[in-house]
Amino acid sequence: MIRLFTLEKIHRDAQPQGRLLQLLLALFWFLGSSVLLLQTVSPRLNYFRTAPITNLLFWLALTALMLLPIWLLSQGKLRPAILVASFILLSLTLLPYVLVPFIPAGWLFLSLPAIALLAFLDDIRVGAAGALLLLLAMLFSPNGSPSPGQLLPLLVVLPLLLLLGWHWQRTTSRAQRARLQRALRLPWNRPETADFHFSSEDAEILLNFSILLSIVDQGEIYRRALRAVADHIPGAHFLIGNFDLELNQFQEQAELMVQPGEQNRPVMLATTHNLEQTPYLQALQQAGEARLDSLLKKSPEDLYRADMRDAGYDFRLTLPLRANDTTLGLLAISRTESEGDFSAHELELAQALSRQIGAALSNAQLASDARARAAQLSTLTRLSRVLSEHNQLDQMLVDARQELLPLFAATGMAILFQNSGDETLDWAHIFEYGRDIDRHSRSPLPLNTGNAGYVATTGQPLLISTAADTDYSLLARFAAGTADGSWLGVPLIVANQIIGVLVLENADETGAFSPRDVELLLTIAGPLAISINNIRQLEQTQAALMAQSEQALLLRTATEVSATATSVLDVQELAQRVVNLIQERFDLYYAGLFLVDEGQQEAILQAGTEAEGTALQAEQYRLPLASSALVTQAITVGRVHLEPDVRQGTNWEFGAYLPNTRSMLAIPLRAQRGGTVGALTVHSTEVDAFSDQAISILQTLCDQLAVAIENARLFQQVQESLIRLNNLFLASRKIMAAERAQTVYETLVDYAGASGLVDMA
């Protein structure tokens, strides 16, 4: 008893309120003991004499007055200062009994608060020793035996205090006692760890156990912990698992079934339990306290004990794995009736082991989080470099995906751009199950369709982990899509403008993404959106400059064609020079010019580039105007005909001669007087190589070329007419000057042969 009231004990780890309360309790105890000693040496003093019933009621009221503030404080409804004030008020209430000389027994009342708190807060044995000391002092007093009015209240109240203290320590939760201890900061409170109860063998077990768990692999911690616990605490079944509060579930990690005579090894598990569907697990997580169940003493009125009964176990000790006031998981040890209940020593050892497991799991989680954060920072650094180095959008998206996907448990990733013109989302990048998907194979998504449409319209991230987690009322006007797997989408925003959506998907697993993943993806989406916007603006600027450059080139080409057309009056030479010029300026694979033969109703190749054109000309390549070839369709219809991909088309007529052609364009040569004189055909080795602007300029060139061809033909006709007239003039002069008939005859024959009017053969 003396060790409780040394100055070291009174002042160690005590806050001001707790220190004052300790001093008051010590004062009450020593004052009460002094009064008993005074009664022993002074026979003239008398005891407090009243009727036994009145005395008993008074003592019971006094006991209730002492217990009420203690109970309120343990419930967190009372401040420690108020408890101190209540003891001061109690002292003032008893002060009249102390001051009256002939009522020294009033000092006995002052001992009751000390006995009560000792019984409730420390050890019931200490409180019992204090009560026994009071009774012995009264019974063996030299003044004689106490009267019933003196003895009856003590015999009733003191056992009542001790009984209530014992009941308190057995039934109240450890959290309530800990709350009371923390509030009072009393150094003599029963410590939770109770390490001083362990033997040297137990201390060695705990030391080896802590060394065993000094790793950062959580899976290995579960395995080692089960084997070590099974080695030191007998049981038939051991189970360990963790709580995932983000997903609101408990996951069984490992179990160990003990079979006598066999080498038992932990088995890793992956069974999950939703906490809302398993209230007993939810209660264990929230309480954070050890639970001992016995079917031999209690019927299975709840699901937890019903589970014990179904598994064939009679005793189960469930221990929380705690760290930093958080329940990380549970350790359950089950026994059969033949193995017996858990002893007090086993309970203390199991709780100490569970605390070490909780600390090891917390350290492993911290180490894992630190590694994950380091990996994330490293990835974000590399991603920033990728985003800043690229000026090609497609390659930048591929490199960004390679850096981004390892941070998430995703099987696919997609990026969609918002097209404000037609209110759709266009696919920009698609990656599924380790391979790139051609974005052209997917149709644009309307903004009022699907999860991506919801993100693009609201500008809010959307996480779908399970069907139960989805609030479909938010998606009232959206098709929410499949409820299978996991889906995470965040908006790509630049200057408060939504430019697209970044989507991650795991089609195989629910709960693959967490709120932490949402925060990380939002962090990545910001710089990604800025880089995408910068590259798109750069591409638009480059496209505009290229268009201007292309337009300037085309205009120069048109000028050269015009100059050629006006300077060359031979149709064959004009056609060859024009196709060579167009192929060179437009960087084409092949260019050819067909002219119409009205008499034969055919389109005849007049000029072609490279060796392919020479080979076609040598064969006098021609196409009937009634055929379905692109060239003849352009001639007969008088409109441009384009084949973006000749491999997909049905009117490809040059396959054997031009094997590298991927896209083809046929442009009619429209005459000013109406009709079509021919067609220009141009070929490229790229799919969809001809822009609208290029087609427009080529059509202008063809119109100029048609005029030039007409002019050349007219010039040729005029030349032929002039030759015929000159021949006729010369023949007429020769005839008029002839003196012989034979000369006239010969002149007429020569003229007929030269003019081609008569077949001289």
Going from the first residue of the chain to its last (761 residues), give the mean pLDDT of each consecutive group of 10, the final group possibly shorter: 32 42 50 47 44 59 62 58 60 52 44 53 55 60 55 63 64 54 43 49 78 80 88 90 87 87 78 85 85 69 66 87 90 88 86 90 84 75 76 84 85 87 84 85 82 88 69 42 71 91 86 85 88 85 79 76 74 86 88 87 89 82 88 90 84 76 91 84 90 84 83 75 72 71 70 61 52
Cα separation, 499 vs 128, in Å, equals 77
Q: Using CB atoms within 10 A of its CB, is residue 139 exposed (0-12), middle (13-18) or buried (19+)? A: exposed
**What is the fold of 568-712?**
Beta-Lactamase (3.30.450)
So what's the pLDDT on residue 241?
93
So what's the pLDDT on residue 101?
41
Q: Are 74 and 171 in contact (CB under 8 A)?
A: no
Residue range(s) occupied by CATH 3.30.450.40 in the chain? 198-369, 393-536, 568-712
Query: Which helix (H) or strand (E) is 238 found in, with range?
Result: strand 237-244
So what's the pLDDT on residue 153?
57
So what's the pLDDT on residue 41?
44
**What is the fold of 198-369?**
Beta-Lactamase (3.30.450)
Strands 267-268 and 249-257: antiparallel
Question: In sequence order, what are the residues at sequence separation of 6 or more whose Cβ sits closer than 8 angstroms to the Cβ of residue 720?
Answer: none
**Owner of token pair 């009420």:** 68
So what's the pLDDT on residue 87?
59
Q: Are 290 and 216 in contact (CB under 8 A)?
A: no
Cα separation, 684 vs 660, in Å, equals 8
Q: How far is CA 449 from the centre of its chain?
A: 22
So what's the pLDDT on residue 240?
93
Cα separation, 295 vs 274, in Å, equals 25
Amino acid at 708: A
So what's the pLDDT on residue 40?
44
Q: Which phi and psi (to 5°) does residue 337 adopt?
A: -65, -35
Tokens, residue 116: 């009560």
CATH of domain 393-536: 3.30.450.40
